[in-house]
Chains A and B, each alone.
Chain A
Amino acid sequence: MMRVDRRRGGPAVGLLAVLFLTAGAPVRLTAQDSQFGIRGLGTPGRWESVRARSTGGAFAPFDLTSPLMEASLADAGRLVAGAMEGASYRRSELAGTAASLRETRFPLMGLSGRVFGRLAVSGGFTTYLDRSWDVTIRDTVVLRGTPQPYTDEIASDGGVADLRLAAATRLRSWLAVGAGVHLLSGSTRVSATRRFDDSTSYQKLQQSDEVSYDGFGVSGSLLLDLTRALRLAAWARSDDRLRARVGSVVTAETDLPNMIGGGVRLAPSPSARLAAAVAWRSWSRAGPGSFNTLSWSAGMEVGAGLGPFRLGVRGGQLPFGPGATAPTEFGIAAGTGRAFAEGRGIIDFGVERLQRSGGGLEERVWTFLLGLTIRP
């Protein structure tokens, strides 16, 4: 773990927390997410803190601020609150057309701590599906015998959050288990606009509505310490269906995936840790154009105290795409962290470079990550 900075700075913790939680647009963050998710359910979120994501996600099963596994909460000593922000700069190329896009997200916020003896609980939210996108379409329709060119803009702004309530305990010194329930909830503001080039004859067509989503899931996990330096992790999760509603009418029900995953962490010295993780998700249950995904990651964290250095790689598949096979992604990530205010606060920085491809679409993404963890 990171060695805390013992210098004074209590008021700064609160100030930074306020800055973090209020900077930028507070509610509706509208931007383009991955185009691979437009025709599917969306872009699945990563249930990883900045620390874990800076290692390619390899440390997520062992990181108590990452909501991937519950068993890691068993190591929570006291109340911990965390949140993160990510700003992505995306360049996509499709059929010879390039677009530069940008998004900002606050994908993670959580609170955890030990409540009764060895029992630790956690509550918080993370992004389950990101459904923000905005596409323009140029086409022509024949109206009253005359071809009428038009531009359609169809936009979706919002997503589905995973509200998790989890508990974990250490049954043995070498075994920790955890379980969680997940309430999936969210909404998107969908708008469809058509502008005819002949705006004098044909007025602008604009329709919008709010689509709400709900679902439910359960998960369980365990941590097994084979030696003092070697830890194994395993987790499983099952989500039922994602229901889409417009008003009170259910407009769609989509099966959500079952997931299993695991990881291994090796800590040969207090200042060097290596980890790897793998996960499988049965996204093909979601219907046509969906694929089961297998993702992997490997990473390391070296150093402690003033500036640990994190590095990781990840790869795998994306669940939605237009082709016969799932789109793939590969990424590398790096980051560091800094404790302050006598260890009551930790700021983590990370940067991630992703490359996604499939179905003729190429995406290259730079993501800058900022995380704040507070231990009052």
Chain B
Amino acid sequence: MRPGRILWLAAVVGAAACVERATAPATCPAYCPSGSLTVVDTLLRGAVSRDSAYRGYVPAFHAGVMLAAALPGIDSRAIFQLAPLGVRVALGTDTTTSPIIGVDSLRLFLSITRRDTAAHNLTLALYRLPLGIDSTTTFADLAGAFTDSLAKTVNIDSLLARSNGKDTVTGDSVAVDTTKRVAVVMRLDSSQAPYASADSGKLALGIRVGADSLASIALTVDTIRWFVKVDSIHGSDTTLVHKLYARGVTFRSFVFDPPPAPFGSMLAVGGVPSARSILRLSVPRAILDSSQIIRGTLILVPAVPASGAPADSFKIEAHTVLADFGAKSPLVFDATRTDTALIRIGATGATDTLTIEITNLVQFWATDTLAPTTVMLRSQAEGANLAEIRFFSSATPASAPVLRLTYAPRFPFGLR
């Protein structure tokens, strides 16, 4: 056979052997398979048991931000201590140091990471606090200092209204970046932030927030910059040298009043120190082993709605656990095994039943039948929000948590 014919035949065979899947629209039941998928939706009351709440996972001094609020029912104040400046500083490249004899001024760089844009006349009041604040410092310990040691007050809205957000008289400024973060620079003179050589220039400050309403912010202290006067002792030269030195924060926290109320028989999520709730679920084996879960929803009835400003709305995460050790159960931090729900504060229906989709978790339990069917609820940003929501637990049968499952039993394979 000539090569040309072989190639021609090969082309014919190849073309004929091309395969493509084709799908036909069906007209049921005449031209449909006898078996079909069925979906069951069921409400599993009593599926949640041995549920309880625990507090203390993230305390205020471990929180990523400081919280300042002046809301009905809660008063929170940010506190922080700055790193010491020292009593002598090096002016040149050698090891010779010169004494600090005073300060010209200090610039404090803050960032407001969360605020309610509906709050008007947002004001930051800066207070000098006694040195030695730490994690055991309470709201009551600092009540006096927050009353009589006001260093400066800055109206954020007024600064934002100015050209470039800067007050050329006081030296204060604000700027809003693309992430809605408000960068605040507060200038303090030597009387507002005195340098005490006996304390090596340590400084403890506190911030209260005020507004016409919805006064609730989260903030961080980025750095401070001291402008100091240094006595140069190079030879016979006694000229004062003005230098700039930056320092960070050695401690930051916030104190608030009143302290969190006991849980009682309720479940709780959020708050500071942060609270978590653990729920043990009993999912029938017939569903987990032989069905495919397509939707799982945890239904919770709020006992006490979350309070605060709308900006304090927070997300609840539902995690499964690697092992059930109660309050100390290690969580599975896997995006595919975590479900979330948003707790809206101040929104209409804030007291409505809360539904948390836990489809990922139930599907995980279906694939790993040895995994504990336990759900831990926690705030997505623990310690970063004073708001806390409380739910009825299984101790209140009429409003107990309920599991709703939508699943498909096994397709009838092998039937004609």
A→B interface (CB under 8 Å):
7, 9, 12, 15-16, 19-20, 23-25, 29-32, 35-36, 38-41, 85, 87, 92, 94-95, 97, 99-104, 133-138, 141, 143-144, 152-156, 190, 192, 194, 196, 201-207, 209, 211, 244-246, 249, 251-252, 254, 287, 322, 340-341, 347, 359-361, 368, 370
Contacts and interface: CB of A to CB of B under 8 A. Distances in A.
B91 to A, nearest CB: 64
B9 A251 contact: no
Nearest to B38: A141
Contact of A251 (B14, B24, B37, B414): B414
A137 B408 contact: no
A32 B29 CA distance: 18
B24 A23 contact: no
B14 to A, nearest CB: 5
Contact of A24 (B9, B19, B28): B19
A32 B24 contact: yes
24 contacts: A16-B6, A31-B19, A31-B22, A38-B31, A38-B32, A85-B13, A87-B16, A94-B25, A95-B27, A99-B23, A103-B19, A103-B22, A134-B22, A204-B294, A205-B294, A209-B413, A244-B415, A245-B414, A246-B413, A251-B413, A340-B1, A341-B1, A359-B30, A361-B30
A32 B294 CA distance: 29
Contacts of B28: 137
Contacts of B414: 190, 209, 211, 244-246, 249, 251-252
Contact of A135 (B10, B20, B24, B415): B24
Given A23-B14, A23-B17, A322-B31, A202 B406 contact: yes
A104 B18 contact: yes
Contacts of B19: 24-25, 29-31, 102-104
Contacts of B147: none
A12 B1 contact: yes
Nearest to A245: B414
Contacts, number: 190
Nearest to A15: B6
B158 to A, nearest CB: 44
Smallest CB-CB A-B distances: 7 pairs: A24-B17, A251-B414, A322-B30, A135-B26, A12-B1, A101-B22, A23-B17
B223 interface: no
B389 to A, nearest CB: 23
Main secondary structure on A side of the interface with B: strand
Given A16-B9, A39-B30, A251-B413, A205 B23 contact: no
B295 interface: yes
Nearest to A361: B31
Given A12-B1, A85-B16, A205 B37 contact: yes
Contact of B295 (A20, A24, A40, A202): A202
A105 to B, nearest CB: 9
A37 to B, nearest CB: 10
**Most A-side CB within 10 Å, residue of B19, B32, B406:** B19
Given A24-B16, A152-B37, A207-B408, 7 more contacts: A85-B16, A87-B16, A101-B24, A135-B33, A211-B414, A249-B414, A359-B31
B5 to A, nearest CB: 8
A251 B412 CA distance: 9
Given A39-B33, A202-B295, A134 B21 contact: yes
Nearest to B16: A87
B24 A99 contact: yes
A302 B14 CA distance: 29
B328 interface: no
B222 to A, nearest CB: 39
Contacts of A156: 33
B39 to A, nearest CB: 6
Given A99-B24, A202-B294, A252-B416, A19 B18 contact: no
B10 A19 contact: yes
Given A39-B30, A192-B37, A207-B411, A136 B23 contact: yes
A29 B20 CA distance: 8
B16 A370 contact: yes
B168 interface: no
Contacts of A97: 25, 27
Nearest to A23: B17
A360 B357 CA distance: 45
A32 B25 CA distance: 11
B32 A135 contact: yes
Contact of A25 (B17, B23, B29, B410): B17
Interface string B396-408: 0000000010101
Contact of A102 (B22, B30, B31, B410): B22
Contact of B13 (A19, A41, A101, A138): A19
B411 A192 contact: yes
B17 A85 contact: yes
B341 to A, nearest CB: 13
A102 B20 contact: yes
Contacts of A29: 19
Contact of A205 (B18, B292, B412): B292
Nearest to B24: A99
